[in-house]
């Protein structure tokens, strides 16, 4: 694995170093034009275009299977599932549901303004889709992470799509996870063409309202390009991890945490930062000796915890792991991370599978403004307005409307004063 070493020259230098680290992997805009062509082609060509792209990109020239996976295949995959794997999936479903359930918004809130009131309400979207990566490895865990929050939110129809293997089919464990999680439809399609199909609809794939899920640059750029046609969770991939370690820590399991995230493949960034050179030295050789997954590692030397915190805030990682007494003390001040892991026992792999926190998280620095997937991604918020005493509001607002040049807005409100007085 490629491994770079950098050094911070002070807390004020954190923004520059964070940007230097991001430049070690291809930026999202590098695939923009290619994705735009795929999206436009699928929007115009429907099923035929999706199958053409699948034949080229997924099945190596073999004729793709039907896009929709039939129910009997889901049932067969579930029946054949290894009992230990089934227990793991079911426990993940249980834990994710428990944690996501605490993120459910209140169904209604009322604000009284004199005799008037505004009711804040929410309603689930009707159809949502979860993108489950494939290619290098199957991701049944992503089925759970995307589907359970959607179901908790009350989404009526949840679809999953995933890239087919060379034989044109999907991994049996992914299919079983779909059945156990309560997925309503499963599609054999992946990549930017799958995102376009879900956003605009095809003969076989009904359009959805929200798309969530991790994926490579093509998938995430496609999500960005169809945003506005559908809602999305944000930019969720390739993966990144910032591990901050201080003091007397055992480097062996921490090196495994870095290597574990590197398994996600090309474009992944695994970064370790410490004010103890010996900790970084202990990480370097295992990282350099690791298989070339396409991930990039970076070791950052600092002189104190202020620099470490500044780097964490500037880098805004998908995963932020704090290990060691001084590092763990930073947890309450760390506000820019997709998910925060505190302590030697909290390896990020637990978050990927079983801790209950979600692993569909903002990447590429998007943790500055975005959040991990939760039921909130699948609901719409709107207001219901009741005005029983319009006079005071109209008197206050009509001059403002006229200042904006909207005379009829002003007259519309003032008409309510006369109606009210007539009563």
Q: Which residues are catalytic?
A: 318-319
How far is 210 from 232, CA to CA, in rounded Å?
A: 5
Strand segments, DSSP code E, in 259-301 are: 269-274, 296-301
Sheet holding 210-212, edge to edge: 185-188, 157-162, 127-131, 210-212, 231-232
Q: What is the dihedral of CA 244, 248, 251, 254, to 10 degrees?
A: -40
Asked if 91 and 354 count as a contact pair (C-beta separation under 8 A), the reply is: yes
How far is 213 from 220, CA to CA, in rounded Å?
A: 9
Structure-block tokens of residue 391: 């006079």
Contacts of 130 (CB under 8 A, 6+ apart): 142, 143, 146, 147, 150, 158, 159, 160, 161, 183, 211, 212, 213
Asked if 312 and 242 count as a contact pair (C-beta separation under 8 A), the reply is: yes
Give the residue from 171, 173, 208 showing the smallest Cα distance to 58. 171
Residue 316 phi, psi dihedral angles, 5° rounding = 45, 65
Provide the greatest CA pair distance for the chain.
Answer: 85
Rounded to 5°, angle at Cα 107 from 103 and 113: 120
Asked if 218 and 30 count as a contact pair (C-beta separation under 8 A), the reply is: no
- State the number of CA atoms in the 13 A half-sphere of 376 facing the CB: 13
DSSP character at residue 13: G
Asked if 49 and 346 count as a contact pair (C-beta separation under 8 A), the reply is: no
**How many residues are listed for the chain in this entry?**
423
Asked if 223 and 237 count as a contact pair (C-beta separation under 8 A), the reply is: no
Cis peptide before 395 (omega within 30 of 0): no
First to last CA, the chain: 79
């Amino acid at each position: 694995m490629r491994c770079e070493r950098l050094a911070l020259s002070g807390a004020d230098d954190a923004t520059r170093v964070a940007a230097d680290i991001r430049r070690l992997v291809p930026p999202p805009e590098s695939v923009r034009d290619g994705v735009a062509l795929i999206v436009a082609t699928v929007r115009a060509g429907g099923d035929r275009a999706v199958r053409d792209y699948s034949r080229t990109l997924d099945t190596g020239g073999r004729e793709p299977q039907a896009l929709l996976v039939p129910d009997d295949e889901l049932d067969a995959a579930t029946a054949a599932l290894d009992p230990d794997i089934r227990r793991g999936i079911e426990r993940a479903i249980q834990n994710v549901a428990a944690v996501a359930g605490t993120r459910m918004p209140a169904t209604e809130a009322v604000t009284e303004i004199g005799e008037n009131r505004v009711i804040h309400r929410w309603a689930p979207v009707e159809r949502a889709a979860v993108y489950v990566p494939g290619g290098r490895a199957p991701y049944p865990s992503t089925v759970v992470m995307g589907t359970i929050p959607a179901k908790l939110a009350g989404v009526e129809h949840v679809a999953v799509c995933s890239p087919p293997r060379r034989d044109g089919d999907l991994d049996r464990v992914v299919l079983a996870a779909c059945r156990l999680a309560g997925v309503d439809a499963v599609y054999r399609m992946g990549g930017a063409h799958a995102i376009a199909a879900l956003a605009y609809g095809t003969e076989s794939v009904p359009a959805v309202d929200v798309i969530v899920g991790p994926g490579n640059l093509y998938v995430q750029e496609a999500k960005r390009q169809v945003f506005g046609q559908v809602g999305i969770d944000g930019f969720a991939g390739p993966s990144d991890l910032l591990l901050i370690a201080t003091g007397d820590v055992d480097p062996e399991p921490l090196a495994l945490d870095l290597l574990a995230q590197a398994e996600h493949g090309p474009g992944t960034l695994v970064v370790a930062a410490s004010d103890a050179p010996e900790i970084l030295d202990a990480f370097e050789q295992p990282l350099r000796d690791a298989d070339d997954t396409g991930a990039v590692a970076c070791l950052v030397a600092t002189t104190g915890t202020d620099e470490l915190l500044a780097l964490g805030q500037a880098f805004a990682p998908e995963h932020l792991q704090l290990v060691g007494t001084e590092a763990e003390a930073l947890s309450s001040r760390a506000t820019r991370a997709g998910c925060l892991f505190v302590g030697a026992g909290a390896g990020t792999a637990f978050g990927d599978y079983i801790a209950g926190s979600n692993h569909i998280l903002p990447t590429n620095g998007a943790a500055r403004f975005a959040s991990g997937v939760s039921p909130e991604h699948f609901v719409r918020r709107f207001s219901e307005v009741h005005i029983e005493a319009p006079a005071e509001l109209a008197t206050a607002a009509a001059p403002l409307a006229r200042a904006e040049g909207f005379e009829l807005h002003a007259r519309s409100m003032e008409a309510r004063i006369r109606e009210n007085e007539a009563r």
